[in-house]
């Protein structure tokens, strides 16, 4: 078997250590900084590389880390798995996504256990599962954003074979699979990349320290490393798309931006495989160039998360106005109306949170609405609260129904966070399992300091290293069968079915969305073709002028009378309705 590694940092020699034997590696004359060697090895063989007589380190391109990030790598035969389900692919237009964390979706916290629960998503009407990061990280439990070994699957989740079984089962059920990948930082624990080459640069800085090297000397190979990893997930595991974490932290001053290069490579792979593939960015830039096609001068990503919609909806529901919610909270229904029809709230407007103008307008005539993801909750928006409390912890079922109606009938591609569909009573908290005691203590203390600055007592902030914090965050699968959860789940199913059945609800034209609202009375209504949606966030009934004299109720959280002679609807407090003009 051929082994190779990019190790320009090696001054004299690189040795391959495989199954107890040592093999000298030779420089590759075709590629500067690369070393190669032949050695007998089969599936599961343990190996690693030593530079200049130093310790044996795992392969930066390891396909498996059976003993965790610090242990030896293992050989994986990608052709060994026999796929059951033929899969033509499933694109993003018309999709309903479901963000899922493998470690807490079930108490077992494995890919196989999660696969056993996929029929629930089919019954819900979801089209794609978006898995939070799977790369190896320290310990057993964590969110996954401190992973290393960008080709490997976290062993406690089941390793690479378990991911293939999960994807196969999802495809058998007609579900696409999206994976959250982190290119903006790695580790820190278990991160041995700096020993091999200039994977990082102090030319730029991120919230996690020095930046990944996308534009400094040596960056050609670093970019190839990230590109190769992304394409491997899509090709070898038959994934349908990738979610790119915090792309605003990918600092790149090159004429050809890394994201443009990645989008071109993914589109080329889609053409080669004959099935649709897509990239979804997490970005706080409010910059439409991310999702503008390359032919039109953009970076060519296929979609992005839209935090502006979330922030407007959150403030309208909760009244919270701290931090980045401040500008939205001044007139939350006006902010919500703007995002529904224009995508971004901050489109060149002043951001109090940032202390400067922020964002840029979307061209509504050229930007399909499905390129923006809309959501009421995500792992970030729940887990980065001090106690990981979901909306269900503080809102009535009626307000949760309003939130669901707005998100699932909005022009954006909707995304649910696991458990929200039944108003899960379990929190989703920040948890880690760092094996380095100093790092564990630093994370614990940092979390407490962060929330102490916002008035939280130390004892009220869960210890991320306590295994009970993870256990509290696991979904309770007995909830969907009992009140009030069962009613919320039925409402989500009804709304998602409507979205699939009514073409107006997947119309990608943002300019076609017409919104009216009353900030004081706390109602908002919008029109999408022949479909009308109205929500009353207030406690008292509201008269909503829809201009409809003939309409059929498609879905209603509470019974509503027919529109009056003036075409106005009397909408009960904290309720939502979807109507079809006749």
Q: Mind listing the pLDDT tens digit for each residue in 218-239?
A: 999 999 999 999 999 999 999 9
pLDDT in tens, 310-347: 999 999 999 999 999 999 999 999 999 999 999 999 99
Q: Does pLDDT of 460 surpass 90?
A: no
CA 155/CA 332 separation, integer angstroms? 44
Long-range contacts of 465-471 (CB under 8 A, 24+ apart): 465/431, 465/432, 465/433, 465/434, 465/440, 466/431, 467/141, 467/433, 469/429, 469/430, 469/431, 470/103, 470/104, 470/141, 470/429, 470/431, 470/433, 471/107
Sheet holding 2-6, edge to edge: 2-6, 34-38, 26-27
Residue 553 CA, chain-centre distance (Å), reads 34
Residue 207's pLDDT band (cuts 50, 70, 90): confident
Sign of CA dihedral 215, 236, 283, 430: negative
Q: C-alpha distances in angstroms, 343 versus 32, 116, 153, 174, 175?
A: 46, 36, 35, 29, 27
CA 386/CA 454 separation, integer angstroms? 9
Strand boundaries in 150-263, DSSP class E: 176-181, 200-206, 209-212, 241-244
Give the model's pLDDT for residue 454.
Answer: 67
Nearest to 412 by CA among 303, 498, 257, 550: 303
CA 133/CA 182 separation, integer angstroms? 7
Residue 432's pLDDT band (cuts 50, 70, 90): very high
Domains within the chain, CATH numbers bracketed: 2-57 (2.60.40.10), 97-437+463-500 (3.20.20.80), 438-462 (no CATH), 513-581 (2.60.40.1180)
CA 522/CA 394 separation, integer angstroms? 18
CA 442/CA 291 separation, integer angstroms? 37
Give the model's pLDDT for residue 32.
Answer: 95
- In three-state secondary structure terms, 7 is coil
Residue pair 512/501 in contact by the 8 Å Cβ criterion: no
CA 568/CA 574 separation, integer angstroms? 17
Work out the angle between the directed axes of helices 485-501 and 397-409 (0-180°, nearest 10).
20
Residue pair 133/101 in contact by the 8 Å Cβ criterion: no
245 is catalytic: yes
Average confidence score pLDDT of the chain? 96
Which residue of the set 146, 180, 252, 282 is catalytic? 282
Q: Does pLDDT of 578 surpass 80?
A: yes
Q: What is the share, in percent, of the chain residues with pLDDT greater than 70?
A: 100
Residue pair 535/541 in contact by the 8 Å Cβ criterion: no
Which residue of the set 130, 168, 221, 245 is catalytic? 245
Residue 549's pLDDT band (cuts 50, 70, 90): confident
Q: Does pLDDT of 160 surpass 80?
A: yes
CA 444/CA 433 separation, integer angstroms? 11
Six-digit token pair at 500? 């699939």
pTM above 0.75, yes or no: yes
Mean pLDDT of 137-157: 96
Query: Range with the lowest mean pLDDT among 276-280, 351-355, 447-451?
Result: 447-451
Q: Does pLDDT of 96 surpass 80?
A: yes
Give the model's pLDDT for residue 456.
Answer: 81
Alpha helices in 201-349 (DSSP H): 219-236, 258-273, 307-318, 326-329, 332-342
Give the model's pLDDT for residue 582.
Answer: 85
220 is catalytic: no
CA 267/CA 274 separation, integer angstroms? 10
DSSP 449-507: HHHHTTT--GGGS--TTSHHHHHHTS--TTGGGSTTHHHHHHHHHHHHHHHHH-GGGG-
């Amino acid at each position: 078997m051929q082994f190779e590694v990019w190790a320009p940092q090696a001054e004299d020699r690189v040795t391959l250590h495989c199954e107890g034997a040592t093999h000298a590696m030779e420089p590759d004359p075709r590629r500067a900084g690369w070393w190669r060697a032949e050695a007998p090895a089969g599936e599961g063989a343990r190996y690693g590389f030593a530079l200049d007589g130093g310790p044996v380190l795992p392969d930066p391109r390891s396909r498996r880390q059976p003993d965790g990030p610090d242990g030896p790598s293992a050989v994986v035969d990608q052709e060994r798995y026999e796929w059951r389900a033929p899969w033509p692919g499933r694109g993003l237009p018309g999709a309903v996504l479901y963000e899922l964390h493998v470690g807490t979706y079930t108490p077992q916290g494995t890919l196989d256990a999660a696969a056993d629960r996929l029929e629930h998503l089919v019954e819900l009407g979801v089209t794609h599962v978006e898995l939070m990061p799977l790369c190896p990280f320290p310990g057993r439990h964590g969110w996954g954003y401190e992973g290393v070994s960008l080709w490997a699957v976290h062993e406690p989740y089941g390793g690479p074979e378990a991911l293939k079984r999960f994807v196969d089962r999802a495809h058998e059920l007609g579900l696409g699979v999206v994976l959250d990948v982190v290119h903006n930082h790695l580790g820190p624990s278990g991160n041995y990349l700096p020993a091999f080459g200039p994977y990082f640069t102090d030319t730029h800085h991120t919230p996690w320290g020095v930046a990944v090297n996308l534009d400094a000397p040596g960056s050609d190979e670093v970019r190839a490393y990230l590109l190769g990893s992304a394409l491997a997930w899509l090709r070898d595991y038959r994934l349908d798309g990738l979610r790119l974490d915090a792309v605003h932290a990918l600092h790149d001053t090159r004429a050809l931006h890394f994201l443009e290069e990645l989008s071109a490579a993914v589109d080329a792979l889609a053409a080669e495989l004959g099935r649709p593939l897509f990239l979804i960015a997490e970005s706080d830039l409010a910059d439409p160039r991310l999702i503008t096609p390359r032919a039109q001068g953009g970076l060519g990503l296929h979609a992005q998360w839209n935090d502006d919609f979330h922030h407007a909806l959150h403030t309208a529901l909760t009244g919270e106005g701290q931090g980045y919610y401040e500008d939205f909270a001044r007139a939350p229904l006006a902010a919500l109306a703007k995002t529904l029809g224009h995508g971004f709230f901050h489109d060149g407007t002043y951001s109090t949170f940032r202390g400067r103008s922020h964002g840029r307008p979307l061209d509504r005539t050229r930007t399909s609405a499905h390129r923006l993801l809309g959501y009421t909750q995500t792992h970030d928006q729940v887990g980065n609260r001090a106690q990981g409390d979901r909306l269900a912890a503080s809102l009535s079922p009626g307000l949760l129904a309003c939130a669901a109606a707005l998100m699932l009938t909005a022009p954006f591609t909707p995304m649910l966070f696991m458990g929200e569909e039944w108003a899960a009573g379990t929190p989703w908290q920040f948890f880690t399992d760092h094996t380095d005691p100093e790092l564990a203590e630093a994370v614990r203390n940092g979390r407490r300091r962060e929330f102490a600055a916002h008035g939280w007592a130390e004892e009220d902030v869960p210890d991320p290293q306590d295994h009970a914090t993870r256990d509290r965050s696991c979904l309770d699968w007995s909830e969907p069968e009992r009140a009030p959860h069962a009613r919320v789940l039925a409402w989500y199913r009804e709304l998602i079915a409507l979205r699939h059945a009514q073409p107006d609800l997947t119309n990608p034209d943002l300019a076609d969305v017409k919104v009216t609202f009353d900030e004081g009375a706390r109602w908002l209504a919008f029109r999408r073709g022949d479909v009308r949606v109205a929500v009353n966030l207030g406690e008292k009934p509201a008269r909503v002028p829809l201009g409809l004299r003939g309409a059929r109720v498609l879905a209603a959280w509470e019974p509503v009378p027919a529109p009056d002679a003036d075409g106005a609807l009397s909408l009960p407090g904290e309720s939502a309705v979807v109507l079809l003009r006749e």
